[in-house]
Every structure is written in C-alpha cells, then in structure tokens.
Amino acid sequence: MTSGLSDKDSVTGAVMVVGAGIAGIQASLDLAEAGYKVYLVENKSAIGGHMAQLDKTFPTNDCAMCIVSPKLVDCGRHRNIELLTGSEVMGVRGEVGNFAIRVRTRPRYIDLEKCTGCGDCADVCPVITPGRFDEGLADRRAAYKLYPQAVPNAYAIEKLGISPCRDACPAGQRAQGYIALIR
C-alpha cells in the first residue's frame, strides 16, 4: 500500500478510531500502515463488531469470519495500533491537530499481560449469565471470552452489581470474603 507521502515527508502524531468493527479495524490498519500511531477504542472486551457475529456476508455469501479473522490478527499484532478494549470516550477537547481525549476503561479483572486464553477461569466460574455476543441464545460464565477467535485473546470477568452479602449489610461491610473462608 502506498501512503501518498514522499520520502522526505514524515508522519507525526496519533489518531484515535472509535469503534472496532470491520470499518474501524480497516481504518486503523490503513492509518497504522501510513505511519500513524493508532488508538483503537472498543466498548466490548474484544474487537470485531457485528461482523464477528455473522455466518455469511451479502451478496457474495462469503464466510464472515474468514474475512474478518486475518484483519483481527493484523490489528492485534500491528506495532502502531494500541487496542483499548472495554473503553469509551468520555470527553474531547482541543482543536484540529491538538486534541485531548479522555477515555474510561472498565477493569477486566484479569491481567491482559498474564492471561493465556486457556479458559480455566471460565471452567470453574459458578456464575452463569445470558451470552451477549450471541444475543442471549446461549449462556456463558461471568468469566468469559467474547468469542473463540477474540482479539485480544484474553478473558474478562463481568461483575454484575453488588454481591447479595454486601447488599444485605446495613453498614456495607464486605462479607463475601469471610463467607468464603468459613465454607
């Protein structure tokens, strides 16, 4: 791919792409190849968007994962792309060429650097919840990977509200740790 830059031009600065569906992934790859540092912001725990949910694409009836999977890998491995999953833009200020963007990232409760994607955490997780990726058609554990080919290849833990033990205590004490010890 040619970037349209002459040999003496150099690219400086960074770009933020909000939304890591197929369009956001392709835009990030194109910008990264042109030499920009790209921050790809995605609200879910993995990139891929709706295309990762599809079986076939119209009008060619091609396998959707066959199209998006190589782009997922390229995006996850590109040295100029930083993935910000589980994140949302909270504020933008500045002017053209000099923006300051505030991004909030929800905790995964699993260290991305250490997670191997083995799934042992999901195997022992006792909490079952409707799966969002498959629109509630199947259940999943609270420790989950969005889909098998997810990038990043790491699990996340979805914490749903306040535990019933803590919620019942009028002083707001965290009793779940004590209860786990006395079982």
Are 112 and 102 part of one and the same domain? no
**Confidence tier at 21 by pLDDT (50, 70, 90):** very high
Instruction: Indicate whether 2 belongs to any domain.
Output: no
Q: Give me the domain span that covers residue 155.
A: 107-183
* Structure-derived torsion over alpha carbons of residues 103, 41, 44, 50, reported in degrees to the nearest 10: 150
The count of domains in the chain is: 2
Q: Model-level pTM greater than 0.85?
A: no
Q: What pLDDT is attached to residue 71?
A: 98
Q: Which residue has the tokens 């790209």?
A: 38
Are 102 and 160 part of one and the same domain? no
Domain end marker among 47, 79, 106: 106
Mean pLDDT of 90-109: 93
Amino acid at 86: G
Closest C-alpha to 20, from 33, 1, 39? 39
Are 102 and 116 part of one and the same domain? no
Alpha-carbon span 175 to 181, nearest angstrom: 10
Instruction: Indicate whether 95 belongs to any domain.
Output: yes
For 63-67, 88-92, 174-178, which range has the lowest pLDDT when averaged over its residues?
174-178
Task: Detail the DSSP E strand segments found in 70-142.
Answer: 81-85, 87-95, 98-105, 128-130, 139-141
Amino acid at 61: N
Are 93 and 114 part of one and the same domain? no
**Confidence tier at 1 by pLDDT (50, 70, 90):** very low
